[in-house]
């Protein structure tokens, strides 16, 4: 069977990575290592590109990061090499002498030895006249580079897979049939919950010919899961609001998911203080900023969830209490009883619908500032509208005013700095305020002042907008505002924003526990210590792989038979390397089109270690 383009790309990534590192679990820890793996994949990144992929403060990048970077880097073309060779041709005669090439390659960049230069020159000097015709050499170099890269990849793949049949097995191309019911497997320890979701899974029997050697059969270590889900509209309204909800004590807080450059999604966390035991109704939903009812904000389709844990600063001392599992249209809700105490609320989105766009936009950049007839700067109508929406997002308590704390969350997001009390006092003196807080008009005035400080240069303004999730068409495409609402039946709870350095780890741990506590554990054939948990929610399917063995395992995931689905991984085929004695979120899957039925069909296969 022919490999799909996506599969070939994945194989290229893996082969290049394993040409440099012993495992795709190993992280790159330097810019030089990133350059090396890109070169193994046939790319020639510029220093500017490397600086972009490895900005100051970067400690490491992983295999998934490398795959994303490789998508952006194009292979070297003859025209590009021609421009480089022309720089070597100091006397502009159309040729490069051995002396010219040697002087450059032994004194700049990654310096070569004279012996290495001699070897390169002998390969390219086909006429053996002591000089290179670089118009021909550029094409030869591209062919040579492509051939060398292909040889490296072939060698790496041969180390990965012993033969073509095993390769097809590892990449999940042979689909089994004959449904067989699953039996429950023992679960890993997980947080206590009150609800249990029935998991619809089917396991398929091995349909291979008996003439295949038994050793090959034993290496087919796969498991199949098929789940058919209804349309989004059929999943709404399962939990009705309490009849007396309008009489309950209500607390509201806003926030926003931000998509970082590396694909990570971040947001604030929240501390809920409940003074005494009470009934609680908890909701989270995307925050609609569109003034037109018939045209809601584009991020209203983004899934949201809240995970509630007890504990303070580490995932080790946290316990999952609940999460907003049930759906009511665009809201996700939880209803139950809470004892008096302090709870951490962690917003979550799967990344299925909030992810980096792969489409190239050619639209012109929107203008941010104009000059009036008198020569004064003014904000454009479009920029004012974007700033007004940003004001709504950072007005966390929905009061219509910005406190110093709220403004500082904005400052930290956009500049990494904080505004101190003295600077805030100056803001209050110069810009419109009420109750010692900044108004919407004052926020616009502040941004106009910044534009004036830079004499209309929009570059810093764009940095602010990009940090808030905007593209150069002033569309919020890499952020999703949300609203959290807490209703308490008997007492007034308080909700405050917090920012924990360990927040991402705690959230990941909570998501893992929510899946393992509600899904059946199924072991992969021949690997009883490798368990797959597949959780079926009302609008998403999530899976966790638990490796209880004492050595790492590599599990290949094949979603190609799924229909109307999108994975949080952004690919229908990928591999997950799970270290010994650990659990890992494998993927989240949702419908591509919420108004149509969708089918999740995933085959998990062990890739044998050689």
Residue 239 domain flag: no
Distance between the two ends of the chain, CA-based, in angstroms? 24
Decide which of 509, 530, 563 is a domain's last residue.
Answer: 509
Cα–Cα dist 67/15, whole Å: 11
228 shares its domain with 303: no
Report how far apart, in Å, the C-alpha atoms of 546 and of each of 18, 366, 394, 527 are: 24, 48, 38, 11
44 shares its domain with 97: no
Per the CB < 8 A criterion, the answer to whether 343 and 318 are in contact is no
Cα–Cα dist 219/206, whole Å: 12
Residue 473 domain flag: no
Residue 501: CATH number of its domain? 2.60.120.380
The residues pairing with 249 across neighbouring beta strands, listed in sequence order, are 488
For the ranges 205-219, 337-351, 452-466, 593-607, which has the lowest average pLDDT? 205-219
> pLDDT tens, 278-321?
999 999 999 999 999 889 999 999 999 999 999 766 655 689 99
User: Buried b / exposed e across 2-27, counting CB within 10 Å, b at 16+?
Assistant: eeeeebebbbbbbbbbbbbbeebebe
Whole-number pLDDT of residue 600: 97
H or E element at residue 338: strand 331-338
For the ranges 42-46, 185-189, 374-378, 509-513, which has the lowest average pLDDT? 185-189
Confidence of residue 593 (pLDDT cuts 50, 70, 90): very high
Cα–Cα dist 576/555, whole Å: 5
Cα–Cα dist 117/127, whole Å: 17
Give the chain's domain count. Answer: 5
More confident residue, 9 or 315: 9
Cα–Cα dist 588/481, whole Å: 21
227 shares its domain with 329: no
pLDDT higher than threshold 50 for residue 10: yes
Per the CB < 8 A criterion, the answer to whether 438 and 404 are in contact is no
Residue 145 domain flag: yes
> pLDDT tens, 55-81?
988 888 988 889 889 988 877 665 665
Residue 500 domain flag: yes
401 shares its domain with 436: yes
Residue 603: CATH number of its domain? 2.60.40.1180
110 shares its domain with 203: no
Whole-number pLDDT of residue 180: 28
The residues pairing with 308 across neighbouring beta strands, listed in sequence order, are 322, 345
45 shares its domain with 130: no
Cβ-count burial of 453 within 10 angstroms (0-12 exposed, 13-18 middle, 19+ buried)?
A: exposed
Instruction: Using alpha carbons, select from 303, 350, 352 the residue that is nearest to residue 327.
Output: 303
67 shares its domain with 82: no
224 shares its domain with 192: yes
Decide which of 110, 128, 158 is a domain's last residue.
Answer: 158
190 shares its domain with 211: yes
For residue 459, give the 3-state DSSP assignment: helix
Range of the domain at 332: 245-358+480-509
> pLDDT tens, 194-242?
222 222 333 333 333 333 333 333 334 578 889 989 886 444 445 678 8
CA dihedral 512, 515, 516, 521 (to 10 degrees): -130
Decide which of 35, 52, 75 is a domain's last residue.
Answer: 75
pTM of the model: 0.68
Q: What is the CA radius of gyration of the chain?
A: 28
Cα three-residue angle 498-517-344, rounded to 5 degrees:
10
Whole-number pLDDT of residue 45: 85
More confident residue, 222 or 590: 590
Instruction: Using alpha carbons, select from 549, 583, 586, 582 the residue that is nearest to residue 225.
Output: 586
H or E element at residue 453: helix 440-453
Residue 417: CATH number of its domain? 1.10.238.10
Residue 216 domain flag: yes
Per the CB < 8 A criterion, the answer to whether 283 and 333 are in contact is yes
Instruction: State which of 83-92, 164-173, 229-238, 600-609 shows the largest mean pLDDT.
Output: 600-609
Whole-number pLDDT of residue 57: 86
pLDDT higher than threshold 50 for residue 188: no
353 shares its domain with 490: yes
Helices 440-453 and 421-430: crossing angle, nearest 10°? 100
Cα–Cα dist 371/375, whole Å: 5
Residue 71 domain flag: yes
Per the CB < 8 A criterion, the answer to whether 304 and 482 are in contact is yes
Residue 170 domain flag: no
Cα–Cα dist 68/289, whole Å: 31
95 shares its domain with 190: no
More confident residue, 469 or 36: 469
222 shares its domain with 83: no
pLDDT higher than threshold 50 for residue 597: yes
Instruction: Using alpha carbons, select from 88, 77, 70 the residue that is nearest to residue 9.
Output: 70
Residue 166 domain flag: no
């Amino acid at each position: 069977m022919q490999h799909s383009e996506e599969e070939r790309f994945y194989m290229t990534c893996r082969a290049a990575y394993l040409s440099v590192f012993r495992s795709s679990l190993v992280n790159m820890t330097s810019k030089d290592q990133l350059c090396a793996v890109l070169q193994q994949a046939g790319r020639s990144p510029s220093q500017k590109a490397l600086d972009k992929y490895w900005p100051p403060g970067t400690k490491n990048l992983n295999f998934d990061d490398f795959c994303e970077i490789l998508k952006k880097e194009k292979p070297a073309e003859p025209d590009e090499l021609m421009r480089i060779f022309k720089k070597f041709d100091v006397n502009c005669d159309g040729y490069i002498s051995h002396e010219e090439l040697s002087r450059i390659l032994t004194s700049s960049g990654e310096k070569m030895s004279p012996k290495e230069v001699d070897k390169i020159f002998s390969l390219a000097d086909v006429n053996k006249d002591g000089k290179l015709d670089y118009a021909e050499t550029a094409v030869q170099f591209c062919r040579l580079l492509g051939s060398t890269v292909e040889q490296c990849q072939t060698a790496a793949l041969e180390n990965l897979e012993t033969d073509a049949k095993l390769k097809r097995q590892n990449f999940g191309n042979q689909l089994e049939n004959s449904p067989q019911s699953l039996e429950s497997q023992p679960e890993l320890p997980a947080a206590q919950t009150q609800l249990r979701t029935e998991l619809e899974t089917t396991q398929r029997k091995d349909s291979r010919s008996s003439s295949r050697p038994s050793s090959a059969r034993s290496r087919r270590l796969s498991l199949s899961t098929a789940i058919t889900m209804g349309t989004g509209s059929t999943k709404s309204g399962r939990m009705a609001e309490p009849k007396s909800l309008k009489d309950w004590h209500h607390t509201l807080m806003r926030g926003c998911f931000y998509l970082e450059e590396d694909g990570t999604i971040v947001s604030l966390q929240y501390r809920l203080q409940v003074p005494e035991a009470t009934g609680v109704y908890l909701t989270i939903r995307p925050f609609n900023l569109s003034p037109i009812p018939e045209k809601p904000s584009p991020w209203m389709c983004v899934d949201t969830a809240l995970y509630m844990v007890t504990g303070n600063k580490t995932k080790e001392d946290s316990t999952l209490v609940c999460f907003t599992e049930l759906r009511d249209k665009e809201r996700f809700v939880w209803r139950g009883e809470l004892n008096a105490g302090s709870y951490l609320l962690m917003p979550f989105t799967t990344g299925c619908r909030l992810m980096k766009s792969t489409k190239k936009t050619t639209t012109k950049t929107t203008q941010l500032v104009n000059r009036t007839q008198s020569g004064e700067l003014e904000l454009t109508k479009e920029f004012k509208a974007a700033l007004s929406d940003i004001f709504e997002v950072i007005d966390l308590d929905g009061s219509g005013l910005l406190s110093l704390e709220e403004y500082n969350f904005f400052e930290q997001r956009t500049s990494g700095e904080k505004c101190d009390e003295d600077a805030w006092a100056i803001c209050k003196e110069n810009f419109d305020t009420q109750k010692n807080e900044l108004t919407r008009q004052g926020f616009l005035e502040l941004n106009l002042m910044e534009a004036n400080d830079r004499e209309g240069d929009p570059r810093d303004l764009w940095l602010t907008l990009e940090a808030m999730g905007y593209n150069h068409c002033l569309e919020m495409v890499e952020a999703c505002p949300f609203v959290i609402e807490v209703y308490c039946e008997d007492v007034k709870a308080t909700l405050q924003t917090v920012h924990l350095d360990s927040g991402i780890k705690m959230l990941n741990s909570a998501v893992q526990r929510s899946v393992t506590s509600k899904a059946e554990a199924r072991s992969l054939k021949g690997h009883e210590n490798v368990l797959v948990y597949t959780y079926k929610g009302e609008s998403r399917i999530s899976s966790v792989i638990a490796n209880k063995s004492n050595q790492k395992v590599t599990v290949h995931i094949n979603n190609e038979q799924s229909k109307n689905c999108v994975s949080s991984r952004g690919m229908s085929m990928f591999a997950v390397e799970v270290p010994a004695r650990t659990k890992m979120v494998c993927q989240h899957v949702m419908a591509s089109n919420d108004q149509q039925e969708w089918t999740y069909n995933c085959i998990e296969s062990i890739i044998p270690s050689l």
